[in-house]
Structure 1
């Protein structure tokens, strides 16, 4: 408690202020100048730097001169001519001159505009960003995520009916198997059929003209390449000549007796 305040501040600075930070503050104080017409910011920062590095302005004269040097040239000459006795008088005079210079147009007051820009800039930037995102969403097609295959195990039958050997479904023995009216297959109805719609016309044509060999029934909607009928392939066509049967080697002609006597192809003349 008996220690003087100046010595106490010196102990605090030596304990908590590294030398490299003090050197940076000294450089900042040497280059500290007022930007535009922002007199308030310039003065506040000058007091902070002087309190941190007081050895740079040990006397009142140097304290005032260092402050006046940071003022604009149009104000600096007037303040030096007034020869202020205290720092407070130099600050008050420079503040009045700053207002006069702003009104006359010598200095530009950008403090109000910078504050408005700081408040509006984030909103404008956000609006522009949203607009760009919206346009990108319109111009770019949606990318669908690839379908993930889920291994779903088939559910086990828990009923009482046996499994049918024909349609592979469980139903009572007295009930007829489910048969599709479109493709004619067992195990599903017409609503669940995946065959094309033309298969129904094929089945109707086969019902009208049943094939001779039901085992070789053609389920396709194409007809036989040999006779053009539906219900069988060309290899099973009944109108096709079988390999074991000898095909006729000649043709029969019906001619009269007079023409036969004159035709040399008969050979006998009869």
Structure 2
């Protein structure tokens, strides 16, 4: 493991390792543990100021959007570079779950995963369920917005329609009122003429009239109200044809 890791070093890192290993000899260098190698590399290429920056990035790391893969990859990189922040498995799982979306954070915690791989699989499964439900929720929300707009439009138009109908009915009643009044006057006048003609007819058909209707001086007939007898010659009201002077 140590031989493979040091064999991948290049440029300045390779020069640094050769300068470190040559004085010690190959046998002693091969006895270096993996933990010791990481400590040497950290001290050389990761000063404390850079480690603090990476620790802040790890603490504030969270999922962006609905894609967990970039988050998991970056989390693994930072935990490797900042081992002091996740000294045990419990702290590692706590840091991983803290960066998950709130929609699945509680469910992952309730599942009580024992390893990072298990927590990652649970988070992926829950996120896939949310992504599948999202189009259905968007469709329902779109329909709800359309229904709300229709209801709002109908409610706004109802008072106007009612006012317009009332205004139209009032206008119609106003327009018809003079006509109705004129029609009533015509009907009354027609009835008066009919009554007068009936009384005149009775008076003509009964010589020696003794009824209650007075004698009209214009037409010399018995009737009530204004004289309605019309001359057939000059078409004037108030005298009979036989008494027409024209």
Structure 1 length-normalised TM: 0.39
Structure 2 length-normalised TM: 0.42
Of Structure 1 and Structure 2, the greater helix share is in 2
